[in-house]
A and B are shown apart, each in its own frame.
Chain A
Amino acid sequence: MKKILSFMLMLALFISLIPPARAAQGDLTLFALDPQDNSRWEKAAIDLAGDGDTLYILMGDKVYTWQPGGEMQVLIDGILTSRNYYEADIEERSGQPVFSSLFVEDGKITVLDTMVGSVFTVESIDGGKAVCSEPVMLEMDARIEEEDETYLNFQFERSMLAGNTLFVIGYDWESGSGDQELFVWDITTGERKETSLEGVQAMCEYKDGKLLCVTCDPQNMYDSETQSYRPWTLAIYDPAADTLEEVTQVGEVRYYDARNIVYSEENDTFYLAVSNKIYRMVGLENFELAAYHPASSMWAEGKAVAAVGNQVAVFDEYGVYVRTPDPAQLPTATLSIYNYYDTPEHMQAVAALGDIPVFFSDNTYFNSAQEMGQALSSGENQLDILSVQLDWIDFNRLMEKGYCYDLSGSEALTSYVKELYPFIQDAVTQDGKLMALPYTVYGSDWHYNKKAFEELNLPVPTTYAELIALMNEWAKEENSENWEEYTLLPDEGEYKPQVFYDFFEDYEQYMLSKGETLSLDTDTFRSVMGALETMDTENVEVMVDWSEVGDDEVPEEVEELWNKEALVANYYSIGLYNQGDMVPLPLRIDENSEHFIPMHLSVLFVNPKSKNIDAAVKYLEELAKAYRKNTQNLMELSPNYNEPVLNEYYEDNLENMENAVARMEKEIEEAEPIDKPALQENLDSYKEMVEEYKVTGRYRIGEDMIELYRDCMQYAVLARPSVMNNGEDDSFFTLRQRYLDEQITLEQFITEGSSKLRLIQLENQ
């Protein structure tokens, strides 16, 4: 008997020592939206408020309540919020209370209306309908009152209410400094109060009438020596004495993330909710990680975090999450991802992983494959999954050195990758093994204004020499009649350097794609550079000395330039989206070269030294499954999907446009005779736009767009890391600049440049 009891005691002790693999008790997702639902923004949570054991959630057009162990209940229904405000007609919404942020104390609900800048209370709730008090207008210069409605030129970032004092961190775009400021009001009178506080990022109620603040020195946030942001300071603010007492520094937080804080007097615990994590300080001591959550971007005009009993609630555009912050109950298995972001696909994958928290490692940055490999090899950073763009990082080197886990064993991943373009498959495969999951691709190349070219009967260039000839021709005086309406390139400045830099980049990518030894000493390079040396577009260039222009000023000639249509441009991307009249122009290096378009591919791979390989692979599998539902993404990566995609907003947009036409017609009827011609002209132009929309707006991705994209993709090559612009060495930059400044001749440039290239390439063999 004794032995049995001893054994059971030992077993119990042993079990109690095993760290929990599952989430803490009480952790739950209170509400989740379908990440693929494009209308989720209207349905997502807007604000939270905690009052004892009750959580208040402002979401959609309702206010919900929730208590631990219970279900969400609708408290108030059918309200106007800052999300659905503009869906209502002007007449409907004028004068109506708008619920933007809630503050609840002992059941009394106070509401901040950020549309007009007022505060009111909910006096009673009758059958789910709120009966509200008269609003108290806050004293603001940023309030613009027009005939039909009032609006604010003010941006609310975070708000909190302490007693009858409202603290708002925001931007006054009307009369403020342009920087983020702290504004304080007495909500009983609306009177603005002065404060000496500066650099406040977030505030919450503390105890004894005091407040907790997270502050910084806004002029001194970045430490250039350590190349990182300085930690925030947690301080206690006494409003009565207007004094600030520093408590401690808050570390491990990204500079823009220290904005969601709350204090629970019941537990004497301060909580800071950042992307995917909740930190706590019990008794304002010992800053420690206490919980994980799925929200990556938490933003609210009021608060995105609230304390409910001994739990904390946070929200983002995908859902509302409740956590029990307790370091002892932190799960042991987590997934850390480098250089990725909270896409809908990511949220689906996270949901499928269940209890394994996933967070982004954003305090890390790798300049090269070697740096990344070194970090992976040493085990620092503890990264499980990494995202890289293959023209920034030498992914081949990572694969060769064994820094990528072999994903060939996953049927879900291999079958997904097999459907993609061959050049994409090759990029992530080594010796027949799958090493990474491609998730996005886009091209970058010259574009030309097809409509303008047809109107002006201009020849479409197919090589760089032809492009330069076109530019020279355009800049001749005899073509000046067209300069009024069109510009050659959309930007100010000299054109020769712009063309030169683009050609240089394209030349390198072309040679790399052919597997040829990179050298400037080729006939191809010489012929194009020879043409470039004849370039003379001074007549049409707009030159500005920006050092003489004020910060917010734009010179008149530049504004004129921006109002013109560009004939060609070098910064458009190639993908399945509408670029208006601009159409891809895949230039050949010369008449003997082939067309090519460098495509920038991003992939995710698993660290073979990850402690959670199975979870990491499962995450990628769920991600691939989610990406299959992202039609546009799939069509860009794979040649097999060519069905046009309807525009889900077509009907709504058309209805809005037709309503706008009706309003404009009514306006014309009521207008003065002298105003009617101008209004009629506007209406006619708008009607043309509506007719055009009926044809072009039906599909988000139409047949024409798909055909154009497929035409471009036949020239697609993988963009590779630049040898000449690797960021580690600026000797090429200096050489190019000396050539452009005419300090060295073309031959000298070619000789010196080729010599450098030869050194770089031989060194890395």
Chain B
Amino acid sequence: MRKKNKTYLLYILPALLFIIIFVYVPIFQNFYFSLFNMNSYTDKWTFVGLSHYLNIVKDPIFYTALKNNTLYAVFSLIFQVGFGLFLAILLDSKFVGKKLKVLFRNIYFLPSLISITAVALMFYFIYNPNIGMLNGFLDMLGLGQWKTAWLANPNTAIYSVIAMSQWQYTGYIMVLLLVAIQKIPKDLYEAAEIDGASEIQKAFHITIPGVKGMLVATSIITVIGSFKLFTEVYVTTGGGPYNTTQVLGTYMYRSAFLFDEMGYGSAVAVIIFIITFTTSLLQIKLSNRNKG
């Protein structure tokens, strides 16, 4: 028995090593880096204590980034989780034929399979002021005065990026919720029908409470995803125009790799860590409560 136990431990070891070396060590090292002035191409380090954090708190771009991540989270909650739930309920209703249901589900799910970079490049083109699809439509509809450089106009840029992500991920969250809805026992609905409940009543009294766990889970995924944002912004706007679309991820990259301030970038990384870590802890707590 003892010998077998040793074997089992040996099975565990490679994974453990991987995770320690490439996940834990960097994250803890990052705390340490954030206390120094350093850049990518020199070996000169100077200890600066917490001054990077103080500078971040004074930097207006940090607040722009925080605001954009939050905006992204709010819109994603409304569209992906809110509208996604609405769609899932519609798809599961008796108003949609069985075959159509599968077709709709698969089509809505499709964009989430395309790589984020490809989607971002597509929208980069769709939003192009001269030959893009969006301005083309506006012209066709006689709304030429609404045309703008969607990704270069500070008033529209971040919303254009957010809209792109809603296009890509609403279907994905909808499918998650649809799976959860389909797990709700059918007899609950039958009983309600006998009582003469309307579709809306059924949705509010059976479906939504029935998928509460999944709603919490998808909300948290969406929020964490919003704070991990990088590729979507980097590929479409690169944080511009004039830093109005910076998010924490691009802000960190910019400090560490564009301005040669790796210590400062590390401090931003610590802030991203704190936000995503606490949100994840919240997820665990909430999902445990929902189970119990």
A, B in one complex: no
B residues within 8 Å of A by Cβ?
none
